[in-house]
Structure 1
Amino acid sequence: MDDFIEISNTFAVTFVVLQAVVKSIAVVHRNEDITYIIRQMAALWPKEEHLTERQTVAKMKHLKRLNVCVTVYYYLNIVGSWQYILVPLLETLFRIFILNQHSMLKFPFGCSFPFDPTESWSRYLMVYAYETFAMIKLVYFLVGTELLLITMTAHLSTLFTLLSDDLLILKPSSKADDDEITYFEADRHEKKIGDIVRRHQKLIKLSKMFDAIFNKVIFYNVTVSTVSICFFGFVAKIAKNPGEIANNVVGVIASILPIFNLCYYGQLLTDASSSLALSAYLNIWYAKDTRFQKMLGLIMLRSQAPCCITSYKYAPVTLNMFTGVMSTTWSYFSLICSVYEE
């Protein structure tokens, strides 16, 4: 059974490492495009004095929710990684120096070296420090790219939400009031609706660029996470050592959480982008002038196809995808357990 646990652990950790490497390569390769999207979102972000009270409340709600998600994910991964790394060392020291038992010198990860890493304590500790340094760097690569993906998705959805509210509160003149308004008021209303149309077009463009950069990464992320969750969960089930059980339970949670966060904010992006059509419809468009109606019609037409992030330009990343991933993961987990028991 120990060999089975070691193989499963190796598979799980290997998939996590590959995930970190692939994400990092994707971010570095498309660094200029990602920087462009971030700067364009910053330019579209409205100033505080231009927001209504309702928009301010909505913005703070979105940002607080994002802050909680980011904080929980960050500390869970960092604390969980250090736990995963230090448990074998602490167990080894406890068995040898406290219980006075003969114990093998354990490492956090199974690696092959051209020398015997357990020949002496100094060599053992040096190799242990090397594995720790290498894995912590990979964890930061993984966490950093995941947080970048989640944060950009969250900010895009927030911008769509604020834009939808701008459209909803826009109150230009009606046809009956055309004779009572000044030229400057009419011009101001026209500029407002024109600005909303341009911002909407810009957000659609940024969403498509964002999806073009990350859709392959998301596909790989979802696929690899499914396998990682299976192996972490399998080891947590069959392991007898409390340290191994705790490590792999943390591994399961740390693998599920980013998928949920991504699907959740992907759902928010889809809902926020499609809500513009409803806001346009609720704007008493039938009582406005012809130009205003055409502008609203353009917004409603563009909103018929919601902006979303996808997995390999095929499956939209929404909460439905999260449900599908969990269902597939459970099927694989049940299959592995059945094979092991037989």
Structure 2
Amino acid sequence: MDENSLFDKYLRIIDYTFRWSGLHLRNRKDYNVRKARILYCIHFIGLNLNVLGGFWWFVKQASKGESLVSLTYAAPSIALACLCNFKSLSIMLNASYVDKLVYKLRELESKVDLNSIESKILVEEPIKFLHFVLKVSNLFNWLLIVAFPSMPLARTAYNFLAFNKVELEFPFLTEYPFNPYDIKIYPFVLLSHIWGESIALFWIFASQSLYYICATFIIVQFKLLQQEILQIIPENSSNKGRRQNEDEVFQIKVWKVVEWHQEIIEAVKLVDIIYSKSTLFNFVSSSAMICLTGFNVTTIDDLAFVVMFFAFLCLSLVQIFCHCLFGDMLMRSSKEVSDAVYNSKWYLTNAKNAKMLHFLQMRAQKPCKLTAYGYADVNLTAFSKIMNSAWSYFALLKTVNR
């Protein structure tokens, strides 16, 4: 790992989430694959035992004929846990592609000088935005880790102080084959809830943060490529009196630009391979999660549950919006390569050289994009469709609940 690499600097920011959640990110010398996978398996089994308990609670309550509002209590947490599973598995099962992507972006960064004044100007805006998103996501992640277990504990303390009665509660509604409210067992069950919730949020933060970092540095590469294309033909160039060696130098520059462009496209494909399946589930589940949490916030009278579901709603909205936003930014930056060719001084060179630039422009007009396993493109249009679906489901639930 290059200590001076800007890309590795941001990988180090999210390193603790990968280290403690057992996900695969070999960006440090002391990485131990076996230990990481054992830790991941322990987390995976522990989290999904709670998920099975949540399903069991849902089926048991449905068989009793509970109301729609009561049944939707457990649905958002179950959907979130399933999303966490998909996101973590997308990293673990595509570990080789994650390695290739990390090495590819390091290699691309090593080929450019990010310390030059022009490069700093181009890099500054996307890097600042990435830093802001990571900072806010990290803060939001820790607030949720603290907030979820605090709600039942606060309610228990309030009931004891105000009404002198002890009513033990858990952050999530889960059914067990034993009595979890036994005072001897309750602390261990509560800790398992806190542990499962923390791991779930760590997996979301780790997966999404790696996605944000890789997308941002691909966008940076596209911007640097645009700068190189704009400068490929100098202002003092002229068709008259051109020497053969000048054309050869130009052709070498064009081939380097084409190879650079191909390497960036390869990096985009790697990101798509890693995230496309989890993105598809993300798109499908986000509509349900936003709908159900919004429904719970507007129908439940209990303030503690309202706060908890509102936190779920914010998490769902922010997560899916940022995912679509970075995909949209990447797609737009790839299309701008075509504009850079058009804005270059192609008219100062001969027809043969101009034709080479035209071929580059034609390829750049086909934008690089991330997809939800080929079913939809990851952009802001997809986000608007998700929100439309969520609103439709929300309106239907409100009608049925009347």
SS of residue paired to 1:111: coil
Q: Which residue is 2:221 aligned to?
A: 159
1:215-234 → structure 2 map (5 Å cutoff): 215-234=276-295
Cα distance between partner residues in 2 of 1:319 and 1:153: 15
- What SS class does the counterpart of residue 311 from structure 1 fall into? coil
Q: Which has the higher contact order (CA 8 A, sep 6+)?
A: 1
The Cα shift of 1:301 comes to: 1.5
- Hey, which of these two has a bigger chunk of helix by percent? 1
Q: 2:182 aligns with which of 119, 127, 130?
A: 119
Partner Cα distance (1:49, 1:108) in 2: 50
Aligned match for 2:305, one of 235, 244, 261: 244
User: Cα 1:111–1:50, aligned 2, differ >3 Å: closer, same or farther?
Assistant: closer
Whether 1:25 aligns to 2:86 is no
Q: What is the CA–CA distance in structure 2 between the aligned matches of 1:3 and 1:89, rounded to whole Å?
A: 26
Distance 1:81 1:228 in 2: 19
- In the alignment, does 2:199 pair up with 1:137? yes
Unaligned runs of 5+ in 1: none
Trace 1:82-121 onto structure 2 (pairs within 5 A). 82-96=146-160, 98-120=161-183
Match of 1:270 in 2: 331
5 Å matches for 1:177-216? 177-179=241-243, 183=245, 187-216=248-277
- TM-score, normalization: structure 1? 0.91
Which of 59, 68, 74 lines up with 1:10 in the alignment?
Answer: 74
CA RMSD, 1 decimal:
2.2
Contact 1:285 1:293 in 2 (8 A): yes
Residue type matched to 1:228 in 2? Answer: M
1:143-177 per-residue CA deviation (whole Å, 9 max, x = no partner) reads 21121222222221221111112111222433224
Secondary structure of 1:316's partner?
Answer: coil
- Residues 157 and 265 of structure 1 are in contact (CA less than 8 Å); yes or no, is this contact kept in structure 2? no
Aligned residues: 336
Q: TM-score under structure 2 normalisation?
A: 0.78
Query: What does the per-residue CA deviation read over 1:272-294, in whole Å, with 9 as the maximum and x for residues that have no partner?
Result: 11111111111121321345323
CA deviations on 1:10-55 (whole Å, 9 max, x unpaired) are 1100000000111111211111112101211111125674665343
Of the three residues 4, 10, 34, the one matched with 2:98 is 34
Distance 1:6 1:133, change over 3 A: farther
Letter in 2 for 1:81: I
Q: Does 1:256 align with 2:344?
A: no
- Checking the alignment, whether the CA contact within 8 Å between 2:68 and 2:401 is kept in structure 1 is no
Q: Residues 233 and 349 of structure 2 are in contact (CA less than 8 Å); yes or no, is this contact kept in structure 1?
A: no
Residue 212 of structure 2: aligned partner:
150
TM superposition shift of 1:268: 1.0
Contact 1:197 1:295 in 2 (8 A): no
Aligned residue for 1:314, secondary structure, equals: coil
Over 3 Å counting, the alpha-carbon distance change for 1:285 and 1:165 in structure 2 is same
Quick check: 2:291–2:390 contact (8 Å CA) kept in 1? yes
Contact kept in structure 1, 2:324 and 2:380, CA below 8 Å:
yes
Question: What is residue 353 of structure 2 aligned with on the other side?
Answer: 292
Cα 1:134–1:115 change in 2 (3 A) is same
Partners in 2 of 1:74 and 1:7 — Cα distance?
A: 31
In structure 1, C-alpha distance between the alignment counterparts of 2:267 and 2:190, rounded to whole Å: 44
Alignment-derived partner of residue 126 in structure 2? 62
Amino acid at match of 1:251: F
Query: Is contact 2:170–2:190 with CA below 8 Å preserved after alignment?
Result: yes
Give the structure 1 partner of residue 232 of structure 2. Answer: 170
Counterpart in the other structure of 2:49? none
Please, which moves more after superposition, 217-226 or 47-56? 47-56
Write the distance in 2 (CA, Å) between the matches of 1:272 and 1:216: 23
Greater CA drift, 104-113 or 43-52? 43-52
Q: CA deviation at 1:327?
A: 1.2
Gaps of 5+ in 2: 1-64
Contact preservation (8 Å) 2:327, 2:378? yes
Letter in 2 for 1:326: M
Would you say the 8 A contact 1:226–1:329 is kept in 2?
yes
Separation of aligned partners in 2, 1:106 and 1:314: 42
Structure 1 residue 2: Cα displacement:
8.9
Point out the more displaced range, 41-50 or 157-166: 41-50
